[in-house]
Amino acid sequence: MKRSDKQKLIAVTIFAAFGGVMYLKNRMMPKYADDYPYSFIWEGEEHGNLAYGNHRYRRVKTVRDLVKSQISHYKTWDGRTIAESLVQIFLMPDSKRKFDMANTAVMLSQLGLCACLGNRRKGRKLALHKKAMVLTAGFWACAPHLAATCMWLTGSMNYMWVGVLQSAFVLQYSRRYHDPSYRIPVWLAAPMGLLAGWTTETGAGAALMLSGMELINAEIHKESASWMRVGFAGCLAGVLLLMIAPGNKIKYGIEREYSNTLPTDVDDRFPGYLPDEYLYTPYMFKAYFKEGFLPTVLRELPLQLPILIYLMNGQCRTPEADRYIGALEAAAWAIPMVMLMSPEYPIRATYPSVIYLLAAALYALDRTGTDVFPYHCGWFKNIAMITGGAQVVSILCSLLVDADFYCQMTDQIETLKKAGTNGRLTLPAIMPPPVYSAIVGDRSIDLENCTGLGDEEYRDPYNRATAAYYGTGDYRVDFECDLPYGDRSIRGIVHQLTQPVRYFIRRMSELIRGE
């Protein structure tokens, strides 16, 4: 077998293995949190499905239902019509199987687009199997809150799926930067731009920024093409449709008055959200820097290493490459920086940053070549083996946490179904396994997001939507009960280590049976 063929086979194997693990993780993620309220036609007249109100809870079943729901959503909540339409389309069936398959394909497509953005057009290139290792390991380690942005149905549509639309659009301008003769049909540029812009705020802004930078560069060199201007105009139109949605003004007031999502007290809040009186104060910027900006930047540091090596290697640097890497870096840094000015700073919103930083890292590696991977050095081999081993341990532990969360959730659901409409029910709270969760962090559901089927109030919008989904009576979640992994004795620690394994075996048995 030729060396190049062997490298291709290794690269395909890496992607296939990564895709298989990601599909398994998808199959272990139940419908969760916003998935239940978004399964129903959006009740704009009743403050929206995520807030308190007397909702009628009619499932989205047809295209007509979808259109009606999205019009109401646009008018009363926010402008993320593309993302939320995808959400409601995949929530129409009760089973997640089709979504799980599609979501895995989208994730691999996202990695493929990162590879294309980071692909050098001419000269020596990094071997395919090394690119595959960088892409999969970099995405796994550096994507912000992987469970919320890439696995959770509602979250993946709002971040990873629209990230594909954004990076596919930016790729056209990337190719044009490297090849002035490159062009796409004008009729294709407009909808690509519109779909990239009418997505989510941070990613749409980055796509507009990068396409605008290349358009200006082309205009300066008198090499611009009509498709570039049309594509940029389409992206700008999409961003405007996103930002001028009437619901953007209404949503914040609804969340404050009719929802318990946002905190009313600074001592009873979760990262990324603040009470009204602290917005745009020194406390806000300090909190958001510590809870949002800094974790994002630190998580992405491994991807900065290839770029640093490139910048220190004068022999492989060119003005063209410097500008390209600089543009990608600018987009990657702009996203967490702009979020510092937002009234809310959930880390998951910085997801688009990793797309462009991963592309910049790959491009830098392409420029510096294989010398970045000195396999003959013993110290490098040791670091590579330790890093690779840590990644494998992290993935395996994440599967245990996923299976544990899935089984606890489904046990809650079964309890809810058995009770039916007979009176009000109290469900025990669930909890991720502390040991494995500490190893995995936000690569899976963590303690901060492990709320199970809802909150402690019977009338909580998440509780009521879930009850309507399964056709049961009112219920609440008891957070004062003995938590599943609350015992800190030796026996309790043993239980923490063994119970997730039993849950994993249980879930794998269900999957083998086709459940």
Q: Which of 71, 5, 83 is nearest to 41 (CA)?
A: 71
| pLDDT above 60: residue 348 | yes
| pLDDT above 70: residue 304 | yes
The whole-angstrom separation of Cα 114 and Cα 360 is: 9
Instruction: Quote the pTM value.
Output: 0.93
Q: Which DSSP category does 482 fall into?
A: P
The whole-angstrom separation of Cα 86 and Cα 63 is: 12
CB 37 within 8 A of CB 49: yes
pLDDT at res. 454: 83
pLDDT band at 262 (very low <50, low <70, confident <90, very high): confident
Average pLDDT over residues 148-154: 93
Average pLDDT over residues 6-20: 89
Average pLDDT over residues 105-131: 84
pLDDT at res. 370: 54
351-368: pLDDT as tens digits: 999 999 999 999 998 888
Q: Which of 54, 91, 52, 53 is nearest to 70 (CA)?
A: 91
CB 134 within 8 A of CB 360: no
Question: Per the structure block, which two tokens stand in for 471?
Answer: 């056709």
The whole-angstrom separation of Cα 225 and Cα 475 is: 60
pLDDT band at 446 (very low <50, low <70, confident <90, very high): confident
| pLDDT above 80: residue 373 | no
| pLDDT above 60: residue 92 | yes
pLDDT at res. 499: 93
| pLDDT above 80: residue 164 | yes
pLDDT at res. 196: 96
| pLDDT above 70: residue 378 | no
pLDDT band at 316 (very low <50, low <70, confident <90, very high): confident
CB 68 within 8 A of CB 41: yes
Please compute, for residue 469, the number of CA atoms within 13 A of its CA located in the half-sphere on the CB side. Answer: 28
Q: Which of 123-127, 228-232, 318-322 has the highest mean pLDDT?
A: 228-232
| Concatenated DSSP letters of 64-89 | HHHHHHHHHHHHHT-S-HHHHHHHHH
The whole-angstrom separation of Cα 446 and Cα 463 is: 20
pLDDT band at 241 (very low <50, low <70, confident <90, very high): very high
Number of CB atoms found within 10 A of residue 418's CB: 10
| pLDDT above 70: residue 123 | no
**What does pLDDT average to over the chain?**
89
- Percent of the chain at pLDDT above 70? 95
